[in-house]
Amino acid sequence: MEISVTLTNTPKQKPADESSLGFGKFFSDHMFIMEYEEGKGWMNPRIEPYHRLSLDPASSVLHYAQEIFEGLKAYRRADGSIVMFRPWDNCKRLNKSAERMCMPEIDVDFNVEAMRKLVEVEKDWVPHTEGTSLYLRPTMIANDEALGVHAAKRYIYYIICAPSGAYYPTGLAPIKIKVEDKYVRAVRGGMGFAKTGGNYACSIKAGADAGKEGFSQVLWLDGQELKYVQEVGAMNMMFLIDDKLVTAPLDGAILPGITRDSILTLARSEGITVEERRLSVDELMTAADNGHLREAFGTGTAAVVSPVGHLCYRDHMVQVNDGGIGKLTQHFYDTLTGIQWGKVEDRFNWIKPVC
């Protein structure tokens, strides 16, 4: 399929101050879009001026949330070149989410090329300041104009771009998280591994309640026993217990993060013992009390790594690494961002040049 390009006649003013970009507040001039119809497949892929979608009020996505998305970044390097980080893994994960949600898959190479071409068209929208990036949000929605509950026959896939600010303008900053012991995010046989809006819709209340108590994220426990540690809002979690890096296994309830995989790959290549296993909250809190929990951090595309300074379960608050940034946490942050920014060798072929 050829991707046609129609450029805008009315380019927007780019935000002049890159330090106030924030996340997902501004959008670039163009978007990628194509439609799907059962029996015909994906059709009419094109890059065109950013525009609103026109949906029938009966459109199935609005009622039954048959929706999936992805999130990845394009970076401008010091030499002026623009690259993406592991985009094919986002495309593969999109297809896994699609399978779970009864949505059509998209050829991985085609999808990577759609992203690459869109970023190339939008290259002037990739911000320049160190730490900033152009965030891509690929999204697929069901679009049958009928109220029956079943897999839709029509879909829309689009990609929009948001120039985004540095996540840590003044360096890594530890966060305070609350172990959630009332609400759950994902259950066995559910859709925890899919990047789908419903997983977020059901998590907003817990996040809002924790926010009122002064926490920036909740740490989810498993949905059966409320016993085993899963992940936080949009990040997987890793714990350095003694000298072992412990993280929840990909059991279908957690999101298989690409940052998670990248850090586990780095850790193994450096001879660090990695344990992908169930970790109970009791074991975690005991390790913290006894001084065995040395570091804790979240991993995700937005922040890369996010150190945890405080962890609270019920009424028990523990400090991790004296509330500071762990050595290994900082090391993984420096290495991964170094690969993204071209300062550290790309040993695992994670970088996709854009232009």
Contact positions vs ligand PLP (CB under 6 A): 71, 195, 231, 234-236, 255, 257-260, 299-301
Q: How far is the CB of 281 from ligand PLP (least distance, A)?
A: 18
Q: How far is the CB of 312 from ligand PLP (least distance, A)?
A: 20
| Closer CB to ligand PLP, 36 or 193, in the complex | 193
Which phi and psi (to 5°) does residue 258 adopt? Answer: -75, -35
| Closer CB to ligand PLP, 264 or 288, in the complex | 264
The residue type at 180:
E
| Closer CB to ligand PLP, 121 or 234, in the complex | 234
Q: How far is the CB of 169 from ligand PLP (least distance, A)?
A: 20
In whole angstroms, give the CA distance from residue 194 to residue 256.
Answer: 8
DSSP 217: E
Q: How far is the CB of 198 from ligand PLP (least distance, A)?
A: 11
| Closer CB to ligand PLP, 47 or 234, in the complex | 234
Q: How far is the CB of 200 from ligand PLP (least distance, A)?
A: 7
HEC sequence for 112-146: HHHHHHHHHHCHHHCCCCCCCEEEEEEEEEECCEC
| Closer CB to ligand PLP, 111 or 299, in the complex | 299
DSSP 278: -
| Closer CB to ligand PLP, 42 or 220, in the complex | 220
C-beta neighbour count of 187 within 10 angstroms: 13
DSSP 57-116: TTBHHHHH--EEE--EEEEE-TTS-EEEESHHHHHHHHHHHHHHTT-----HHHHHHHHH
* Residue 210: both structure tokens together: 């924790």
Q: How far is the CB of 286 from ligand PLP (least distance, A)?
A: 25
* Residue 161: both structure tokens together: 């771009």
| Closer CB to ligand PLP, 45 or 207, in the complex | 207
Residue with tokens 């029938």: 56
Residue 33's nearest CA partner among 121, 155, 135 is: 155
| Closer CB to ligand PLP, 47 or 258, in the complex | 258
Q: How far is the CB of 235 from ligand PLP (least distance, A)?
A: 5
* Residue 349: both structure tokens together: 């072929």
Q: How far is the CB of 1 from ligand PLP (least distance, A)?
A: 26
Q: How far is the CB of 257 from ligand PLP (least distance, A)?
A: 3
In whole angstroms, give the CA distance from residue 127 to residue 75.
Answer: 8
Which phi and psi (to 5°) does residue 277 adopt? Answer: -155, 165
Residue with tokens 């550290």: 344
Q: How many residues does this entry show for the chain? A: 355
In whole angstroms, give the CA distance from residue 277 to residue 249.
Answer: 5
| Closer CB to ligand PLP, 125 or 193, in the complex | 193
The two beta strands, 41-49 and 30-37, are antiparallel
Residue 339's nearest CA partner among 350, 330, 354 is: 350
